[in-house]
Amino acid sequence: MSIEIPPGLTELLQGYTVEVLRHRPPDLLGFAADYFARLRDARDQEAAGGGRRVVSFDGEPMQTESNGEEEPDRGDEDSDSDFEPPVVNRYNRRVSVCAEAFNPDEEEEDTEQRVVHPKTDEQRCRLQEACKDILLFKNLDQEQLSQVLDAMFERKVKPQEHVIDQGDDGDNFYVVERGLYDIVVAKDNQSRCVGRYDNHGSFGELALMYNTPRAATIVATTEGALWGLDRVTFRRIILKNNAKKRKTYELFIESVPLLKSLEASERMKIVDVIGEKVYQDGERIISQGDKADCFYIVESGEVKILIKSKTMTSKEANQEVEIARCHRGQYFGELALVTNKPRAASAYAVGEVKCLVMDVQAFERLLGPCMDIMKRNITHYEEQLVALFGSSMDLLDPGN
């Protein structure tokens, strides 16, 4: 049975979804009725008098039919023959992307003109160093990565400068080279800092992936440097690559017990930000005492978890004791992220191991609904340590 999506349905629903996210109405049904009634009235007015359709909510105009660019202000000109398009500033906010359709599965032809920002050898080296651990880039082939690096531009920031603002449309994806940046979320007329980027990391990808407004404000608290990637290049390369990755990982992610409590859309966001790493037999994946930066899910193979205990005798103190093994669909590395403490144990590959890896920022942003499950596991870990060493001090005060 073949089901054909009516023309315009995708754009219609995208526009409504964006307005819901922007206004967060308590009565979704009432908001929908009002929204579509206004949309119908605007269509009827356009049919009667011509011109562009605009729907207004709470005095704020919402563009419902757009190619993503502002219509030029013609002023008193009678003709557009002398109109010169404005120079595009890569730092400017986009007007609207709610009607922008993109299907990476259908776009096989690479017809977009490639963006290239010239760089000195010194800039190129700094850029490569900043991007080496960005998970979104891990699955790119060498040609794709080269195009991404060519298209990236450097942006210097000053203290208290807003890099992106909550509610704005997505314009660029950013990689942190240096500096401190607060993640600020406004809710119920109150703003609070929910995290920080400390001289590394990346942000801004979700708004570009899902055509939704920015979910948070990023504020520089020191002088710093960022590398930006424009939305066109991001969607042409990163999104197309992510579409392939979704096909590979979505069934596996659905099978992971920890993630079953998430909505399907939330699991898909996890697929979009994870990367894959391969480890050989005996290779150390995480080290006890290290600062936590990633969360791991075993895709294939076996991982053994070992710990050096402070409660053991001096003769045994330097010996690692195996406390657990993780297999396909199981996870590790979450404890240090949940408790904000150093790694309490080390993890080693047993044979060849493939792990799906999520960085700490994505972990905090996307796995909030799973946090209660992971916190309950802390009690289980404490019981294991008490059974092995007679104390759970190694969990309460981890380190070498």
Q: pLDDT band at residue 105, thresholds of 50, 70 and 90?
A: low
Check whether 317 has a pLDDT greater than 60: no
> Which residue did the predictor score with more confidence, 368 or 330?
330
Q: Comparing 11-20, 73-82, 118-127, which segment has the lowest mean pLDDT?
A: 73-82
Mean pLDDT of 194-220: 90
Nearest CA among 66, 50, 52, 85 for reference residue 18 = 66
Check whether 11 has a pLDDT greater than 60: yes
- Residue 253's alpha-carbon distances to 28, 84, 330, in angstroms, are 30, 50, 11
Mean pLDDT of 323-332: 91
- What is the model's pLDDT at position 40? 82
Q: pLDDT band at residue 106, thresholds of 50, 70 and 90?
A: low
Q: pLDDT band at residue 271, thresholds of 50, 70 and 90?
A: confident
* Beta bridge partner(s), residue 62: 55
Per the confidence metrics, is the pTM higher than 0.75? no
- What is the model's pLDDT at position 79? 39
Q: Which of 157-166, 183-192, 260-269 has the highest mean pLDDT?
A: 157-166
Distance from C-alpha of 275 to C-alpha of 272, rounded to nearest angstrom = 9
Q: pLDDT band at residue 253, thresholds of 50, 70 and 90?
A: confident
pLDDT in tens, 358-373: 888 788 778 777 777 6
Tell me if 353 sits within 8 A of 296, measured CB to CB: no
Check whether 111 has a pLDDT greater than 50: yes
Mean pLDDT of 140-159: 91
Mean pLDDT of 283-304: 92
Q: Which amino acid is at 102?
A: F
pLDDT in tens, 24-68: 777 888 888 888 888 887 777 666 655 444 444 444 444 333 333
End-to-end, the C-alpha distance of the chain in Å comes to 61
pLDDT in tens, 57-102: 444 444 333 333 333 444 444 433 333 333 334 444 443 343 344 5
- What is the model's pLDDT at position 226? 96
- What is the model's pLDDT at position 177? 95
> Greatest CA span in the chain, whole angstroms?
91
Mean pLDDT of 301-306: 94
- What is the model's pLDDT at position 399? 54
pLDDT in tens, 375-387: 666 666 556 555 5
Token reading at 77? 């000109």
Distance from C-alpha of 13 to C-alpha of 61, rounded to nearest angstrom = 18
> Which residue did the predictor score with more confidence, 324 or 43?
324
Distance from C-alpha of 304 to C-alpha of 254, rounded to nearest angstrom = 24
- Across the chain, mean pLDDT equals 76
